[in-house]
Structures are given as C-alpha cells and as structure tokens.
Chains A and B, each alone.
Chain A
Amino acid sequence: GAGVSQSPRYKVAKRGQDVALRCDPISGHVSLFWYQQALGQGPEFLTYFQNEAQLDKSGLPSDRFFAERPEGSVSTLKIQRTQQEDSAVYLCASSFAGTRSLPGPQHFGDGTRLSIL
C-alpha cells in the first residue's frame, strides 16, 4: 500500500538482547518521526529526521537507543541491551515538510509492539 509500513509488527526479545525496528515511510516524505507509546498513554517523541539528517534526538531515553536513516528513506530504530522498561509500541510517522506556520500532517504506521521478557 501507499502508507507507512513498519516491521516487524510484533517483537519478543529477552532482556539484554539487541533489537532493530524498521520503518518504510510514504515515498517522497521528507520528515520522519519515531515515537514510543506505553499502554494507555499517548505517543512520546523519540527522534526526528529531515531526509537523512537526524535533527532532533532529544527524546531518546538513553544511549542504548539509536536511529538512522542513511539514504533519507527507510529508517531503523535500534535498541541495544534491551530492558523490561523498553516494552512498548514503537510508532513511526512521516510527513512532507510543511510550511513555516503549519506542520505537514503526520501519517503513522501501525507500530511495532515490543515485549522484553
């Protein structure tokens, strides 16, 4: 389809393992966002890319979290040495650049549900 695609949909890992979550944004969308959503809560911002440049990573909770978008399209969120508190749904969103007064609408994928045992 033409929407944002995330994989895998579900990921179960043991504490201490590394995981990699993938996001395929809508073709041509310049902006890409990663969010973490705990059960029953709203999404929490993690990081933002404009093309291949990571312009804001202020929401990454620790240096175990790393995101990249090397060619300005597909993005990967990597979590090293996972801990139980990393269990959450990880959402990716993409948008066109927007204007000075109005951000481009964000189109979300369906997320990856990560469970750390």
Chain B
Amino acid sequence: TQLLEQSPQFLSIQEGENLTVYCNSSSVFSSLQWYRQEPGEGPVLLVTVVTGGEVKKLKRLTFQFGDARKDSSLHITAAQPGDTGLYLCAGTRGKTSYDKVIFGPGTSLSVIP
C-alpha cells in the first residue's frame, strides 16, 4: 500500500485551463515537498511546506499543506505546455536532519497547446 496517494493519476488539459492535483495520506508528515519530473530527467524540487495550513506560491503554482499535515494540493493557473510533466509529492515524517523521503506515485500532466 502507498503511504502517499496522488490523484488524479493522469490529467490532460488544454492550454489556459486551471487544474488541481492532490496528495493524501493517513499519516502525519513533518514536511511535504513537490517535485516535477520530465522524461529522461531526475525530479526537480518545486517547493517544501512544513507548517499545517501553509500556502506557498511560485508564479502560477499554488501549494497548500493541509491543517493536519496529512495532505497537500498543487493548483496551477492558466496551464502552459511547459507545465507538462510528472508531479510528485514527497513527505518526511521525522524531526531529525535526516529522514527518509517517501514519494507518492505521481500525477502525469499533459498540457495541450
């Protein structure tokens, strides 16, 4: 069973549309990270959220950490073809300088011009 679930698994939208992808767990996380991965490349970190209820914005991307620190969402406004990729959420549960990062299965986003 996946510790982190992501939905939807696949998403295909037209350029200019808005979208939200979700990351959910039954476990509490001390921090959650969002990555974007393009084919043939490694994941690239977009943001880290650590406080319950925290909202961070990165240009057209808005990230929210749930109040209970069990879930997170990523909202993209006016999607562009360059947003195409695999969006991964990843969480850590410990409070030490090292903690195993657990990845979700990803949401594959395709933005059609």
Contact = CB atoms under 8 A, between A and B. Distances in A.
Interface string A6-43: 00000000000000000000000001010100001111
Interface in A36-95: 40-45, 48, 50, 55-56, 58-59, 91, 93
Interface in B44-94: 44-45, 48, 50, 88, 90, 92
Given A45-B102, A103-B92, A105-B48, A98 B97 contact: yes
Contacts, number: 74
Contacts of B95: 100-101
A4 B44 CA distance: 12
A99 B97 contact: yes
Helix, strand, loop or mixed for chain A's interface?
Answer: loop
A80 to B, nearest CB: 24
Given A31-B98, A42-B88, A48-B100, A93 B50 contact: no
Interface residues of A, number: 33
Contacts of A111: 41-42
B103 A42 contact: yes
Contacts of A98: 97-98
A29 to B, nearest CB: 13
B81 to A, nearest CB: 21
B101 A108 contact: no
B1 interface: no
Q: Count chain B CB atoms within 10 A of each CB in A42, A45, A59, A102 and give the residue with the most.
A: A42
Interface of B: 4, 6, 30-31, 33, 40-45, 48, 50, 88, 90, 92, 95-106, 108
Given A35-B103, A91-B43, A106-B45, 5 more contacts: A98-B97, A102-B50, A103-B97, A104-B97, A111-B42
